[in-house]
Structure 1
Amino acid sequence: MCGRLTQYRGIHDFVDTLSMPNVWRNNVGDQPLSRYNVAPTTSVAVLRMDITGPRADLVRWGWRPHWATDRAAPINARVEKVAHGPFFRAIWPHRAITPVDGWYEWVDGGGSKKQPYYIRRRDGRPALCATIGQFEGTDHDGFVIITADAQGGLVDVHDRRPVVLSPDLAVEWIAAGMPSEHAEQMVLNLGEPAEAFEWYRVGTAVGNVRNQGPELILPAQ
């Protein structure tokens, strides 16, 4: 996952996908997010639970532990290591969902510029990405998206992909009290398959993070 995504629907559309009857604390706003080129280190809408119930917040994309000052904050965590490695140990218990309309990958076609592709669910629903993070209301807050090996035709676009959960599993993922072992098995084995997604070439304008707008996700001519 190269690190660019879209969140253009409103937070209510994302929440409705989960079909949870609870009242959500909405710290994002009611208007469509209208973000077609979301870059790392910027604030992204995430869905999670705390002691007061479900909530939607804007959280910085990227996190590192306080002792890892010698590297940039990662934006993704490999599913094979995330539950046991020391780097993400502090935030592994703090689970969230990053709802996205889609994400971009760049493919090296041998020319001077890489070809961007846009990936989204075939059924048009938001992709509910398994996420962990620090959500304490401080300057150190941030999150990472869990990624797995790509499958099927997605391998031709990129060798990694976000772990996308079905709505039922996404609700279970953010529920309080889930054992660590169960959470690990969920992201290792129950992510949506490659067949759930479609991908196509888009224009190179998405390479500039200052470019925004729905034209970025249109198929390239």
Structure 2
Amino acid sequence: MCGRYATTRSEADLSDLFDAADVTEGLGPSWNVAPTDPVPLVRISASHDGKRVLDTARWGLLPPWAADQRGGAKMINARSETVATSPAFAPSFARRRCLVPADGWFEWVRTGKERQAFYMTPADGSALALAGIWSPWGPEKMLTCSVLTTAARGGLARVHDRMPLILPPERWSDWLAGGGEADALLQPMTERELAAITVRPVGPAVGNVRNNGPELVQPVAEATLF
């Protein structure tokens, strides 16, 4: 699963990167995004003539029929293998897809009694576009979202058996458009794209949601992958 990630680029930078109008609500950078946090996403907006907007959503999708917000923390991820058929996720997959900007994501590996945190991020420092879905919830139509996950491969599978579904720029338009063939939309990264992701051991501070700063993604020299 993807339960923590970093997204630190400014609204202006994200707006330029995704060619989207900025309608966010003053989000700041976060090196430790946790479930139910407000996060930036890119979606198609009918109120903006069907064009892309950079918006804000609560991380943890709430279907319109959810009685309250408590279940959102368990809905931060949607499995790519079942997203098109799941009662909770399928309507959003069909009509309300989005891109979730990220610098990288965190996972933990247990070594004896301890857990070592790892940060997965592009070696060249480029931004990631995580495949996401969104849904409005409640009388105020609060935006909520989930990140799709897929089977991890290569070196990433040594850290965790799941990883976010990451989309290169040439796939953004089809993903955001709605409709389309599920098999094509849910294709995982190519081997070349996968090789561009580095695995970096980091310190334990990221395990506490109250910690937030660039030091959380700095490598720990004494730690190794295994």
Which TM-score bucket, shorter chain as reference? Answer: 0.7 to 0.9
Q: How far did residue 12 of structure 1 move? A: 2.5
Contact 2:77 2:148 in 1 (8 A): yes
SS state at 2:71 partner = coil
Aligned to 1:143: 145
Relative to the length of structure 1, the TM-score reads 0.86
Contact 2:59 2:144 in 1 (8 A): yes
Contact 1:202 1:218 in 2 (8 A): yes
Aligned to 2:86: 85
CA distance in 1, matches of 2:52, 2:64: 27
Q: How far did residue 139 of structure 1 move? A: 5.5
Q: How far did residue 9 of structure 1 move? A: 1.2
**CA-based RMSD:** 2.3
Aligned to 1:126: 127
More helix by share: 2
Q: How far did residue 173 of structure 1 move? A: 1.3
Q: How far did residue 147 of structure 1 move? A: 0.5
- Uncovered stretches (5+) of structure 2, i.e. residues with no partner: 222-226
CA distance in 1, matches of 2:123, 2:165: 16
Contact 2:4 2:35 in 1 (8 A): yes
CA distance in 1, matches of 2:17, 2:59: 22
Aligned to 1:206: 206
Aligned to 2:224: none
Count, aligned residues: 211
Counterpart AA for 2:208: N
Q: How far did residue 85 of structure 1 move? A: 2.0
CA distance in 2, matches of 1:209, 1:199: 21
Contact 2:63 2:135 in 1 (8 A): no
SS state at 1:220 partner = coil
Contact 2:24 2:40 in 1 (8 A): no
Q: How far did residue 212 of structure 1 move? A: 0.9
CA distance in 2, matches of 1:135, 1:56: 16
- Uncovered stretches (5+) of structure 1, i.e. residues with no partner: none
1:126-173 Cα shifts (integer Å, max 9, x gaps)? 110010011478355311001000010100011100111011212331
Aligned to 1:168: 170
